[in-house]
Structure 1
Amino acid sequence: MFAQERLRAITEILHTEKKVLVKNLSKKFNISEDAIRKDLKLLENQGILKRTYGGGILEKQTPAFEKVAERNAHNYDKKEQIAEKAFSMLQNKETILLDISSTNLILAQKIVQSDLSLTVISNSIDILHALSKDEKTTLISLGGMYFQLAGGFVGSETIDSVQKYNVQKTFLGSCGVDLKTKSLTTFNVEDGNTKRAFMESGRDVYLVMESKKFHYDGIYKFASVDQLTGIILDEKPSDAIEKQLAKL
């Protein structure tokens, strides 16, 4: 198991059990206790846990990485609100990029039902399928390494492909936002590197997410919040979060 996979597994255990013990993790992953302590220190630096004697406790909510079908089924009403707001920003003949995201899938379905003629670039299998029979949409698929859990393509080939295009609007997904470090996060390094390239290819970059994700974190930081054009939410965030956002 690679270090990044182990960190993700430890994060999932934290989310389920709220605490971890060094000796138990050492046995589970068949590595030294010193190596586990280094993992816990890294997770503490990311604000995910607080180290304690012999282990650590959950510092912040960190959702387990769900398969794409599970994500698509959760909180549809909230995601539909976000997708509707994103759709209202689209203009005819634009080139847009839709990242792997269950909210972006709903946005793609709205595009199919509309009169808009767009060029849509995506690395998501579900989004590509949703738009594949829409004759008024010019559809561009970004290939690469298939990330089964996410349901799309990521990695160096995907990054090379997207760099060829000039994108007006990019709609990005994320596992969470850490306002303390101003970081956008995900669970997978290749996914994070791909998202970073998507941001660089877009003139305007919008994060589409539920407000609850201000309290969630992935384990890999791929960009800073202040690199975004805006964040499209389902509902108004708390006053405390609004104050933090205003400082960015």
Structure 2
Amino acid sequence: MLAAERQRKILEKVRRDGTVRTTDLARDFVVTEETIRRDLDLLGRRGHLRRTHGGAMDATAPLGELSQTERESRQLDEKIAIGREAVRLICPRETILLDASTTALEFADQLPEDVPVRVVTYSLAVIERLASRDSNLELIQLGGSYEARGRRFSGMLTESALRALRIDRFFFSGGGLDPIRGVSEPNPEQARLKRMMLQHAEWSCALLDHTKLGVQTDFYFAAPEELDVLVTDRGAKIYAKSHLKDLPYELKFAR
């Protein structure tokens, strides 16, 4: 394959998926990672994408995080599978906390109706998804200042409400996972809030599809040793085999 054709296909993938990883592209195109890095650097200089540590992201997306609507359709099958696997980790009558990620939204969709749980969240989308259920589910919305772009609440009132609750399990996502430094977020306010939630919960589980592994965004909030479980999809197996060794947390692959 000519370099120009490979670069065109890379750009198509970036615009479709939002982010790409160097390791995945090298495997898909059967070239070295150095070749892919040169391709990404060239496309970045031309303004077609933005380089990130370990890959690239769509240059047409606004700086920082994408909106809720923009995020919902990306890696949807993987998010559904991750959610289905992660709900197996909950126990009856627990209080679980969900962040405002689209992966947590799919997790909420997979909650079994015959298991009594209390769900705490600051995500309006999660509340809307679960509001029609009328059995075995108690919903608690953490209020605060509403952010329309992310369809979520945040700020002092959100944090104050959280402190009044006991949280058994915290399920969350992020912008990326670095094997050494942990989970990060492109939004500083979200990183600070999730950091507080992580420290407040008795147990935590990161929900990250394979496109997030090896990616670093701007603000770290969860070190590897602070995680209890990472649930990802089967597309992460090759990366995990070479980069996620001797983990301080349990690694689960969605079925």
Q: TM-score, normalization: structure 2?
A: 0.70
RMSD over equivalenced CA pairs, Å: 2.8
CA distance in 2, matches of 1:93, 1:226: 27
Q: Which runs of 5+ in 2 are unaligned?
A: 1-18, 20-39, 251-255
Tell me, yes or no, if structure 1 residue 192 matches structure 2 residue 218. Answer: no
Q: Which residue of 2 aligns with 1:143?
A: 143
Alignment check: 8 A CA contact 1:121 1:140 kept: yes
Going from structure 1 to structure 2, the CA distance change for 1:161 and 1:134 (only over 3 Å counts) comes to same
The answer (yes or no) to whether the contact 1:95–1:120 under 8 Å persists in 2 is yes
Match for 1:129: what amino acid? E
Question: C-alpha displacement at 1:163, in angstroms?
Answer: 1.3
Instruction: Give the number of aligned pairs.
Output: 200
Contact 1:185 1:220 in 2 (8 A): yes
1:109-188 equivalences under 5 Å are 109-111=109-111, 114-136=113-135, 137-180=137-180, 182-188=181-187
Residues 97-149 of structure 1, C-alpha deviations (whole Å, 9 max, x = no match): 011111111121122x5212211000111101111121121100011222333
Asked whether the 8 Å contact 1:15–1:61 carries over to 2, the reply is no
Alpha-carbon distance change, 20 to 166 in structure 1, aligned in 2, over 3 angstroms = farther
- Provide, for residues 208-247 of structure 1, a one-character-per-residue CA deviation record: whole Å limited to 9, x for no partner: 0102211322211223121111111112343211226469
Q: SS state of the match for residue 116, structure 1?
A: coil
Distance 1:232 1:120 in 2: 19
How many Å separate the matches in 2 of 1:15 and 1:227? 34
Instruction: Name the structure 2 match of 1:45.
Output: none
**Which residue pairs with 1:81 in the alignment?**
81
Offset from partner CA, 1:46-89 (integer Å, 9 cap, x none): xxx9xxxxxxx754325452211121111211111100111111
Matching residue within 36, 41, 44 for 1:18 = 44
CA distance in 1, matches of 2:73, 2:94: 29
Structure 1 CA distance for aligned equivalents of residues 113 and 41 of structure 2: 40
Question: CA–CA distance in 1 between the matches of 2:167 and 2:41?
Answer: 37
Q: Which residue identity does 2:243 align to in structure 1?
A: I
Taking the aligned partners of 2:42 and 2:216, their CA distance within structure 1 comes to 15
Q: Look up the SS of the partner of 1:203 in the other structure.
A: coil
| 1:197 Cα deviation from its structure 2 partner | 1.2
Letter in 1 for 2:121: S
Where 1:222 maps in the other structure, the secondary structure is: strand
Contact 1:165 1:201 in 2 (8 A): no
Change (3 A) 1:60 1:84: same
Aligned to 2:90: 90
Distance 1:76 1:247, change over 3 A: closer
**SS of residue in 2 equivalent to 1:119:** strand
Aligned to 1:239: 241
Alignment of 1:60 onto 2:62: no
Q: Which amino acid aligns with 2:240?
A: S
Q: 1:77 to 1:59 in 2, by over 3 A?
A: closer
Q: What TM-score, normalized by structure 1, do the two folds share?
A: 0.72
Query: What is the SS of the residue equivalent to 2:245?
Result: helix
Q: Is the 8 A contact 1:19 1:58 kept in 2?
A: no
Asked if the contact 1:205–1:229 (Cα under 8 Å) also holds between the matched residues in 2, the reply is yes
State the percentage of identical aligned residues: 23
Specify the alignment match of 1:218 in structure 2. 217
Q: Tell me, in whole angstroms, the C-alpha distance in 2 between the residues paired with 1:58 and 1:204.
A: 30
Offset from partner CA, 1:189-215 (integer Å, 9 cap, x none): 111111011111211100001022113
Between the aligned partners of 2:120 and 2:52, the Cα distance in structure 1 is 38
Q: Which residue of 1 aligns with 2:5?
A: none
> 1:148 is aligned with what amino acid?
A
CA distance in 1, matches of 2:150, 2:162: 18
**Aligned AA for 2:242?**
A
Q: Which residue of 2 aligns with 1:206?
A: 205
